[in-house]
Amino acid sequence: MLKQKLAAMAAFLLIPLDSCATFSKPSSASIIRKGSTDVRMADCDGPALSLPPQLRLMLKPRTGQMRPDDHWADIAERIPGGFAGILYDRNGKPTLMLTHPEQAPQVKQALTSDRTFRHFNLMGAQVLKARWDFAQLVDWYNYLWLHTSVAETKGLVMGDKNEETNRIYFGVETESGRQELAGKLRALDLPCDLVRIGIASRPYPL
């Protein structure tokens, strides 16, 4: 069962940016737009809680093979400031996401020695406040995918740690599938506003 989940994870996971590639704008398919009908889970207001220690013990160490996600998660744990990813906004402006924007100068300086950001204008990037740091997103995503029945949801076609919306995103083909997934997530007592569930088409290779 674990091997099947790992295979599904590799097939469905959207990787927004390759850590060795020149950075590009996020694709429109990964963006949750204003007025979206995506379901918010959990639909409440509260603190951005990390995966509890007893659940994190269930996760295997990050291998670095999931790029750039594993690397970004490591950065979030290593550098104060709550690193939550980089992107280009809809106007093409480089953007750095932090849970503590007031620490932006220190974070930018610390990241200048990281070659994976050599094509990204760190010093000129605008800084936006994030709710979740990237380690939180990765840990919650890996737990949900590998240690719950989320991956077995009928019609599930997409999973992502979306740096623009700063949320975990799951896409399912039908409304019934979305309601099935929402029920599973609701039973897990997730922290507020961690996951969005949308209706999505199955991706086809170009």
d(CA 90, CA 194) in angstroms, rounded, equals 23
Q: At what angle do helices 134-147 and 2-12 cross, to 10 degrees?
A: 130
Specify the pLDDT at position 122: 97
> Given a cut of 70, is residue 47 above it in pLDDT?
yes
User: Residue 206's pLDDT is what?
Assistant: 57
**Rg of the chain over all Cα atoms, to the nearest angstrom:** 17
Please state, in angstroms and rounded to a whole number, the distance separating the CA atoms of residues 138 and 9.
Answer: 13
pLDDT digits (tens, 9 = 90+) for 48-88: 999 999 999 999 999 999 999 999 999 999 999 999 999 99
pLDDT at residue 199, as a whole number: 96
In whole numbers, what is the pLDDT of the chain averaged over residues? 86
State how far the Cα of 136 lies from the Cα of 20, in Å rounded to an integer. 23
As to burial, measured by CB atoms within 10 angstroms (0-12 exposed, 13-18 middle, 19+ buried), residue 52 is exposed
CA dist 94 and 32 (Å) reads: 19
167-172 vs 195-199, strand pairing mode: parallel
Between the alpha carbon of residue 116 and those of residues 48, 123, 129, the distances in Å are 27, 15, 22
pLDDT digits (tens, 9 = 90+) for 161-174: 999 999 999 999 99
The pLDDT score that the predictor gives to residue 203 is: 77
